Structure formats: structure tokens, C-alpha cells
Structure 1
């Protein structure tokens, strides 16, 4: 008897999960249009961000390009890190 109740319980859980899944998948036309518009706007923002980017600089020591905001400066010289700055100062 306990086996029957166990399998009946499993069946009920599966039926409820399936019902909830079906309900979530059945969107109204208005909801589908809103969802598609949100997706288009999100793609547009991602493309705009990729195009805008960030200004880049080239390290005078190693030649690596890096974001300008991460620059390490010594006078008019621009380096990607303190290590490159120190290496360049040792060569002088």
C-alpha cells in the first residue's frame, strides 16, 4: 500500500510541475510582444556598449595596449604597470 501511495505522490508532483511549466510557456500575444521588445532593446544596448568602448593607450616599454584609466605615468611617458615604469627608469 505504501508503494502505491509513494508512486501516486510522485505522479501528482510531476503533474503539478508539468501544469506550471505549461502555464508559464503560454504567454498572451501582448506578453510575447513585450518580451520581444525587451530582448531587442537589450541587444541594442549591448551593441552600443561594444561600439563605445574605452580609450586605449600603448605602453612605451612593452607595447601592450591597455585602458587609459589604468595608466601609470612618469612625466609625459605612459606605462601599463609600475613594473614597466620601473624597468624603463632602470634603462635610462
Structure 2
């Protein structure tokens, strides 16, 4: 019988691999889109400011949640993990926004 910690680690690894597979499938499908399939974007370009406000609100909520998690005074190991996760998340947001330019 598999112990609980091994089972939870296995579940985490499978979830991460599933997320990576999903991202790769989306990227693969995006590579094969034709120009005709991208014409629907023309009508969406007028609503770009709304998407920018939504992204700004989402990023604000993420930062507020991260700060609230740090304020709970977790153990030093968990606090280090939270800081590392925040740095990875912040870097990811920067990379996503820079790729939109």
C-alpha cells in the first residue's frame, strides 16, 4: 500500500504534467490556426481597454492574496516557499505582459 505522502506527491506530479500537456496542446493548436480563423479578433480589438482593466484587477487580487498569505506568519520554511512562489508568479506576469507588446 502506498503511503499518503507518496500518493499526494504523485497526485501533484500528475497535475503538473497535465497542466504542461494542456499548455503544449494549446500552443500546438495556435500554431496551426489560419488567417481566416483569426478574423474574429478584429471585432474584439475595440474592447481592449476592458481586458486591460480586467487584467489589472486580476493582478491586484493575486498580489493582495499573496500579501495576505505572508501576513499569516507561516513557518520560516513556508514563508520562504511563499516568497519563491511570489517571485515566480511576478516574473510570469511580467513575461506575459511583455509578450503582448
Q: Under a length normalisation based on structure 1, what TM-score does the superposition of the two structures give?
A: 0.37
| Bigger strand fraction | 1
Q: Under a length normalisation based on structure 2, what TM-score does the superposition of the two structures give?
A: 0.35
Question: Which structure has the higher relative contact order (CA within 8 Å, separation 6+)?
Answer: 1
| Bigger helix fraction | 2
